[in-house]
Amino acid sequence: MTEPTDSPAWPTSPAAERNKDPILDVLCGALPGRASVLELASGTGQHAAHFAAAQPGWAWQPTEADTSALPYIDARCAGLANVRPALALDVLARPWAAALGAFDAVYCANLIHIAPWATCAALMQGAAQHLVPGGVLVLYGPFLVQGETVAPGNTAFDLDLRLRNAQWGLRLLTDVVREAQRVGLLFEQRVAMPSNNLTLVFRRGERTGR
């Protein structure tokens, strides 16, 4: 499917433009060709539009806490038959609506470092509840890895985030994995991405996660 043309009137993230193809490569390896996907914190909708256009077999459900973003996500994805209308979803407002249903995959980019730490636990609980057994959670963003040198850019980014909001900051991979394990999401894969980011893949156990 062809990705709809962007309008200059829509909010646009240069970072999303740069990272969308590397993330798509990882998603193509982690998800089956036919899959229902719940996206959290969809932001501008650039990822939703790009991924859904590239993979017509993926049924994409964008969501955002900032309801003012929903019309832009819908506009950006207009014409893509495999993208549902964007829904309001605050990851921290647990439990998420049961009517959301179950998904083969949950995808979230660049949220848990720009949100209070409690967002990570809420994301894991919600993902475990709304993933089918064997389904995958894919997280993209900058993380700190114990025992590994932090790239100067990430050190500066972490400091900048903490100055903007004391509850924000880059998260330790071990802490994120611990929150996932608590709800039965097994850490399966870590992929190095451009600009010192990571993509993390977790899988819901066949008999756990609720």
Ligand X SMILES: C[S@@+](CC[C@H](N)C(=O)[O-])C[C@H]1O[C@@H](n2cnc3c(N)ncnc32)[C@H](O)[C@@H]1O
Residue ranges in contact with ligand X by CB under 6 A: 13, 16, 40-43, 47, 64-66, 69, 90-92, 109-111, 114-115, 119
Q: Least distance in Å: CB of 188 to ligand X?
A: 21
For ligand X, the closer of residues 95 and 205 by Cβ is: 95
> What's the CA gap between 51 and 79, in Å, rounded?
14
Between 95 and 134, name the residue whose CB sits nearer to ligand X: 95
Cβ contact 209:184 at 8 Å: yes
Q: Give the separation between CA 206 and CA 36, rounded to whole angstroms.
A: 17
41 close to 153: Cβ distance less than 8 angstroms: no
Instruction: Give residue number: closest CB to ligand X.
Output: 43
Q: Which is nearer to ligand X, 13 or 82 (CB)?
A: 13
Cβ-proximal residues to 66 (8 Å cutoff; 6+ apart), any chain: none
From the CB of 20, what's the least distance to ligand X, in Å?
A: 9
Tokens 């973003």 found at: 69
User: Could you tell me the smallest distance in angstroms from the CB atom of residue 71 to ligand X?
Assistant: 14
Nearer Cβ to ligand X, position 105 or 115? 115
What Å distances lie between residue 179 and 60, 125, 185, CA to CA? 25, 9, 9
CB nearer ligand X, residue 7 or residue 165? 165
- The least distance separating ligand X from the CB of residue 206, rounded to whole angstroms, comes to 28
Q: What angle do CA 203, 140, 142 make, to 5 degrees?
A: 125
Q: Rounded to whole angstroms, how far apart are CA atoms 204 and 186?
A: 6
Instruction: Provide the minimum distance between the beta carbon of 150 and ligand X in the complex, in angstroms, as a whole number.
Output: 20
State the CB neighbour count (10 A cutoff) for residue 28. 14
Q: Which residues partner with 197 through β-bridges?
A: 193
Give the shortest CB-85-to-ligand X separation in angstroms: 16
Residue closer to ligand X (CB basis): 16 or 200: 16
